[in-house]
Chains A and B, each alone.
Chain A
């Protein structure tokens, strides 16, 4: 069965620290998609990245970077030099292509608090 685990419930850091948010997933399919979303206090989900299962290249976008490792079924997200505006809940999500629905299975989220 598909499942997304975000073991870190809450993380607190001081501004300028680097922080890594963990995501471990389970899937029976060989073709799947992984996502990260940010949910600030306003509640609106902000799309950060989508990665398909055949692309294991790490990605960097500004202060954000993602490490996808199929061998450990992990898709971790690192914020470098964190800022107060990064404070939010971050969700990792999985979508399996075989189900033909593209529905997203979300992890429980990690609440990140960045203090000045």
Chain B
């Protein structure tokens, strides 16, 4: 099946710094990618939908200026956590969709990035 990679897999940063997480579709082109956040022992919450060449669509309650998403190519979307704080510590998971036709898509998930802000 299709493969989605994320980099880095783990990152520790200091409060106030920014962190960039990459999501790549390795063997297919993804017009749409999704970013999820998962707190310990909780469910995955969709943060935003990233569309290649256009602005991301953020879910209610997600700060656009805090979580910058860039989907500059059909195989790469990036999530930048700006001015990170300890409460941003979480597991961030991306997924990529390989079929533009509604109903016939398959979403492939990356392995996740564990962010710890100290």
* A residues whose Cβ falls under 8 Å from a Cβ of B: 31, 33, 37, 42-45, 47, 50, 52, 91, 97, 100-109, 111
Contacts and interface: CB of A to CB of B under 8 A. Distances in A.
A103 B42 CA distance: 18
Interface of A is mostly: loop
19 contacts: A31-B103, A43-B91, A43-B112, A44-B110, A47-B106, A47-B108, A52-B103, A91-B43, A97-B102, A97-B103, A101-B49, A102-B102, A103-B46, A104-B44, A104-B95, A106-B43, A108-B43, A109-B42, A111-B41
Given A44-B112, A47-B108, A100-B102, 6 more contacts: A42-B111, A97-B102, A97-B103, A103-B49, A104-B107, A108-B43
Contact of B34 (A43, A50, A104): A104
Contacts of A43: 91, 93, 111-112, 114
A107 B43 CA distance: 7
A30 B2 CA distance: 29
A91 B93 CA distance: 14
Given A43-B112, A43-B114, A106 B102 contact: no
B56 to A, nearest CB: 12
Interface of B: 32, 34, 41-46, 49, 57, 91, 93, 95, 97, 102-103, 105-112, 114
Contact of A104 (B41, B46, B103, B112): B46
Given A31-B103, A103-B49, A104-B34, A91 B111 contact: no
Interface of B is mostly: strand
Contact of A109 (B32, B43, B106, B107): B43
Contacts of A109: 42-43
Given A106-B43, A109-B43, A101 B57 contact: yes
Contacts of B46: 103-105
Given A103-B34, A104-B34, A45 B103 contact: no
A45 B32 contact: no
